[in-house]
Amino acid sequence: MRKKRKIALYNPYLNIFGGGEKHILSILQVFDRAGYKIDVLWNDKSVKDQINTDLNLKFNNLTVIDNFLLNEKISQKTIRTAIYDYFFYISDGSYFFSLAGHNYIFAMVPDRKLYDLTLKNRLKLLNWKFISNSGFTQNKLNALGIKSEYIYPYINTAIDRQIIKKEKIILTVGRFFPYLHNKNHKIIIELFKKFRRKSDLFKGNKLVLAGRCDSKDMAYLRDLKSLVKDDTDISLEVNVSHMRLLDLYRQARFYWHFTGYGIDESKHPEQVEHLGLSPLEAMSGQCLVFCFKAGGIKELVKDGFNGYLFTDENDLYNKMITAMNTNAADLKIRKNASDYIKKNFSYEVFESNVKKFFHI
């Protein structure tokens, strides 16, 4: 009987379940379904249940093991990597030797600080290859002298199957936190209030901000609540279930995405949108998406065809007014968006790409 093939994943950010975590774990799920055994290196065993509930990803052969990369000497941990056919790592700027059959660094953020390829690091990476999460990240890594291939994630293409009628909701989805690559919730709230004062077309619309919030970021959430105050047209939906999130995509007519707003991506590519899972999910749910024109999302949203790209406050306002006044064009663009996701981001396309890339 053939010995079960094994894979290891070490992601130092596994305590934060964002789009990048779902992306890499979705790749590993393809291996899981092909009969591979998955070891996740993490010292908190409860993360396995969180992968299931928070990311809606189910595995047959996934085990959470103590993180020997942190707990053992260099020689011991290097030897332990030899039992794996594949080793996947999301870099925090540190690197290590691996004796696994195939070694891949999954690059989610094109931040120069994460890829400081000193001579010592280059020696460690002799048998490693890089995978990017998008064409944007790939191009930025290439500028740093790092070659990579990219694998796009899949999007739930069934979101639009239960849409009955779109409501006057402007939705934005993203983690509530104030750090690098944040979603600019405060700006979104302020502009919604400003646009509502400026045009009657915004009256009757609701702004819904949905996302996860960790305990360490509660101060940021309190700041947002104080900004909303008693405004009944604005709601914060915190740590919503996967099913509730799908319902929001189905209900919302508009979707706003402000990651990277006001940032010069040529100077700070790490602060703009590297891919944009949430707006892609919104497109699948036939929301009319409005995304700040920067980073990876501008490669996917075609302005006026499957959504809108905006460059500043006035551009967003004018395009929102146009959309609110032209229902026929609104319907066509939303249909184009849904069709685009089905064609390019279905699970079948994703699974085929993963199997082809890794020769599964």
Q: Is residue 119's pLDDT more than 80?
A: yes
Q: Tell me how many domains the chain contains.
A: 2
Q: Is residue 309's pLDDT more than 70?
A: yes
pLDDT of residue 56: 86
Q: Please report, rounded to a whole number, the percentage of residues in the chain having pLDDT higher than 90.
A: 78
Q: How confident is the model at residue 4 (pLDDT cuts 50, 70, 90)?
A: low
In a domain, residue 198? The reply is yes
In a domain, residue 297? The reply is yes
In a domain, residue 238? The reply is yes
In a domain, residue 18? The reply is yes
Q: What is the pLDDT of residues 244-263, one digit of tens each?
A: 999 999 999 999 999 999 89
**Are residue 339 and residue 354 in the same domain, yes or no?**
no
Order of strands, sheet of 167-173, starting from the edge strand that comes earlier in the sequence: 234-238, 206-211, 167-173, 252-257, 288-292, 308-310
Distance CA 95, CA 196 (A): 50
**Are residue 134 and residue 34 in the same domain, yes or no?**
yes
At 224 the three-state DSSP class reads helix
Q: What is the pLDDT of residues 18-57, one digit of tens each?
A: 888 999 999 999 999 999 999 999 999 999 999 998 888 9
Q: Which two tokens stand for residue 88?
A: 């996947």
Q: Is residue 241's pLDDT more than 50?
A: yes
In a domain, residue 1? The reply is no
pLDDT of residue 18: 80
- Structural domain of 142: 6-154+347-358
Q: How confident is the model at residue 3 (pLDDT cuts 50, 70, 90)?
A: low
pLDDT average, residue stretch 105-111: 92
At 40 the three-state DSSP class reads strand
Residues 346 and 323 sit within 8 Å (Cβ to Cβ): no
In a domain, residue 168? The reply is yes
Looking up residue 96, the CATH number of its domain turns out to be: 3.40.50.2000
Question: Residue 341: which of 293, 274, 252, 278 has the closest Cα?
Answer: 278
pLDDT of residue 16: 79
**Are residue 80 and residue 99 in the same domain, yes or no?**
yes
**Are residue 142 and residue 192 in the same domain, yes or no?**
no
Distance CA 349, CA 344 (A): 7
Q: How confident is the model at residue 1 (pLDDT cuts 50, 70, 90)?
A: very low
**Are residue 144 and residue 169 in the same domain, yes or no?**
no
**Are residue 120 and residue 173 in the same domain, yes or no?**
no
Distance CA 242, CA 55 (A): 8
**Are residue 253 and residue 276 in the same domain, yes or no?**
yes
pLDDT average, residue stretch 250-277: 92
**Are residue 234 and residue 326 in the same domain, yes or no?**
yes
Q: Is residue 204's pLDDT more than 70?
A: yes
Backbone φ and ψ for 316, nearest 5 degrees, come out as: -60, -45
By mean pLDDT, which of 105-114, 176-185, 262-271 is the weakest? 176-185
In a domain, residue 190? The reply is yes
Q: Is residue 112's pLDDT more than 70?
A: yes
**Are residue 165 and residue 149 in the same domain, yes or no?**
no
**Are residue 174 and residue 268 in the same domain, yes or no?**
yes
**pTM score over 0.85:** yes
In sequence order, which residues have a C-beta less than 8 Å from that of residue 276 and are 6 or more positions away?
A: 19, 257, 259, 291, 295, 296, 297, 300, 301
Q: Which two tokens stand for residue 221?
A: 């959430």
**Are residue 41 and residue 12 in the same domain, yes or no?**
yes
By mean pLDDT, which of 136-150, 160-174, 296-310 is the weakest? 160-174
Q: Is residue 13's pLDDT more than 60?
A: yes
**Are residue 335 and residue 285 in the same domain, yes or no?**
yes
